[in-house]
Structure 1
Amino acid sequence: MDVERLATIAVDCGFKVHERLGPGLLESVYEAVLAHNLIQRGLVVERQKPVPIRLDGIILDEGFRADLLVEGALLIELKSVERTAPVHAKQVLTYLRLMDLPLGLLMNFGAATFREGVRRVANNHDAPEAPRLRAEHIPGA
């Protein structure tokens, strides 16, 4: 399944989660419910996936944790705040570059409506400011 279709399904599931639960819960609650809904749609979902990175020849076993990774192709970063800050989208872009993924979603379940809380973030691989570190693929990790 292509990443655009995955994103469409994820946004649909996110909308339904926000509609049923509303804002104000912990991020971990939205993560668990969204992951469950995506799995119910037949997708493979990894929660809090540790992603090692390599920097200057050093491997950091847990450079960061991806909130949700869908089918190994779509990153979803979750927030539960009144309003996201520009740094949140930059965080998603950094994760996408490190994981060499084309698309991510920033979903903020703290917003009054889901529409104002969801944002697509595309990875422009040709960007000159791309970080020099990369996620380290470790088989079985």
Structure 2
Amino acid sequence: MMDQRDPQTYAIIGAAMEVHNTLSYGFLEPVYPEALILELSRAGIPFRRECALPIIYKGEVLTCHYRADLICFDAILVELKALKRLSGAEDAQVLNYLRACELDRGLLINFGGAKLEYKRFRR
């Protein structure tokens, strides 16, 4: 069933579910991005990995930058975690990154539990 409201985030979440169904949980965090980029490629989802994004403060670009786990479709920030549970600080992190990088959509995906956990964000 396709999510007509946002088929792009639906497709990314579907790829993450495939990774979680195949690997399950318990690996260290670096394993999941490697597997996810394979699934994104197989699904034809365009992405950039570990790309530096400028931080904009009051219209000025700061000299420091944020390194996104993934940017998909040149529009969706994807933050990946492998935690037993999300604390809420990760939500704030994604929202701050969206605001600072001037992107409108984000996904927080956590591979660390028995069930894949994900959250969609809009700025």
**Larger Rg over CA atoms:** 1
The amino acid that maps onto 2:78 is: I
Query: 1:52 Cα shift?
Result: 2.1
- Please give the TM-score of this superposition, normalised by the length of structure 2: 0.87
- Please give the TM-score of this superposition, normalised by the length of structure 1: 0.77
- Size of the alignment, in residue pairs? 119
Q: 1:65-123: per-residue Cα shift (whole Å, max 9, x none)?
A: 11010011111100001001111011111111122222211100001101xx1111221
Q: 1:17-55: per-residue Cα shift (whole Å, max 9, x none)?
A: 001001111222111111121121112211111112244
Distance in 1 (alpha carbons) for counterparts of 2:20 and 2:76: 20
Partner of 1:137 in structure 2?
none
The amino acid that maps onto 2:118 is: V
Identity of aligned residues (%): 33
Asked if structure 1 preserves the Cα contact closer than 8 Å seen for 2:48 and 2:71, the reply is yes
Asked if structure 1 preserves the Cα contact closer than 8 Å seen for 2:54 and 2:61, the reply is no
Select which of 14, 18, 39 maps to 2:16.
14
The amino acid that maps onto 1:43 is: I
Equivalent positions of 1:16-95 (< 5 A) are 16-55=18-57, 57=60, 59-60=62-63, 62-95=64-97
Q: Does 2:106 correspond to 1:104?
A: yes
Asked if structure 1 preserves the Cα contact closer than 8 Å seen for 2:56 and 2:101, the reply is no
Indicate the RMSD between aligned Cα atoms, in angstroms: 1.9
